[in-house]
Amino acid sequence: MVEIIDGGITSPQGFRAAGVHSGVKYRSLDLGLLVSDVPATAFKAFTSNKVKAAPVLLMISQDTPRLSAIVVNSGNANALTGRRGLEDAQAMQKAVAAELNLVPTEVGVMSTGLIGRFMDMHKVQYGIGRAVKDLAVGHDADARITEAIMTTDTVKKECAVRVRLKDGTLVYIAAISKGSGMIAPHLKSLHGTTLTMITTDAVLTPAFEKNFQKILDDSMNMVSVDGDQSTNDTCLMMANGLAGGTPADDDPAFFEALSVVMTKIARTIAMDGEGASKLITVQINGAVDDTQARIAAKTIINSPLVKSAIFGSDPNYGRVMMALGNSGVDFNLEEVHLTIKGGDMEVPILDSGAPVFQEERSVEVVRMAMDNKEVILDLDLGVGDGKATAWGCDLTYDYVRINAEYAT
């Protein structure tokens, strides 16, 4: 049984963390460091955007199977910075490696913030030196590294769990993430922004790669704030094996526990979308297969018209069906069922392709369901057993304001 605990990224054995102010941002914490006491098996996933930031390009080119540390800065994305950007990303690796007596390729690098600005490496290297001295375990260290990776985020995004595996080993899994805008991840393993770090003391081998990708496809890759995939999206997982036991690559308990962690992170990112006032959950059932269900869910969650309607609690179900039709997936309109849920209300909208309500009084009931912090769009496509869930947020005036002024 998976147990969510009051913990953070250093909850698994053998991990230490720090968050410091280096000066890249004016006042806030802006540089984080995560270290494993022993080399950890690494699982990596990066943006599929063809414009990739320097740290992403560097890590893809190295493709090392083990990591001992991850360094991350906020305030500067180190993207569209050419050769100098790559050299700066390498300099971050080398600075951490020199401080911790590591090989540079054992250090993961992440950056987030403004695009098209060169890094001030004097500040970054100063921050790395401070972070190494501040490495610690516990709530304060967890809080500081989580804050250090934030940009327009308004809440910290973290989750920690423990679970007993089938061989009896008790293992811990934890994750922190950032993300508020420029979010529509399409993370592929081995190959505004979400940066995610995952730690576990379980024993994993490279064979876990397929399950890692499956969990990403059902969690982080099902989040969309604005439909724009970042240049910097990165997810790094370190498994240091200090809990002992047999490899958990195919252990259902470990798979479930990591899924719980990543689903919570995904929901929190969507809930904290730039300017958001509501969490939108799209549940697709009855699709031809899970792949088509994912496509349908993401198309609906990405629709500006759907997001605007939910912001205004406007019961215009035609926008949901428009987005479904644009998705290109198979469905039988005569078998489609749409229900809107909010709070303790569950209101059928469309039944067998025809509206359930017409009267103004019925419309007000739908509006009341939509006037909640979480609005669920539940669609059955009537053509198979495929299912998927996507998370997003409404499109508000504040989203436009934030992004109209982001660089200034």
Q: Please give the positions annotated as active site.
A: 193
Task: Return the structure tokens found at 140.
Answer: 């304060």
At residue 104, the 3 state secondary structure works out as: helix
Query: Helix axis angle, 304-311 relative to 290-302, nearest 10°?
Result: 60
Is the separation of the CB atoms in 156 and 150 below 8 Å? yes
The b/e string for 187-198 (b: 16+ C-beta within 10 A; e otherwise) is: bbbeebbbbbbb
Cα distance between residue 221 and residue 208, in whole Å: 18
SS (H, E, C) 332-376: CHHHCEEEEEECCEEEEEEECCEECCCCHHHHHHHHHHHCCCEEE
Both tokens of 106, joined, read 């054992």
Structural element, H or E, at residue 74:
strand 66-76
Torsion of CA 23, 19, 180, 194, to 10 degrees: 110
Length of the chain: 408
Cβ neighbors of 187 (< 8 A, separation 6 or more) are 45, 46, 47, 48, 194, 216, 220, 221, 233, 234, 235
- Asked if 196 contacts 173 with a C-beta cutoff of 8 angstroms, the reply is no
Contact assessment for residue 249 and residue 41, using Cβ atoms and an 8 Å cutoff: no
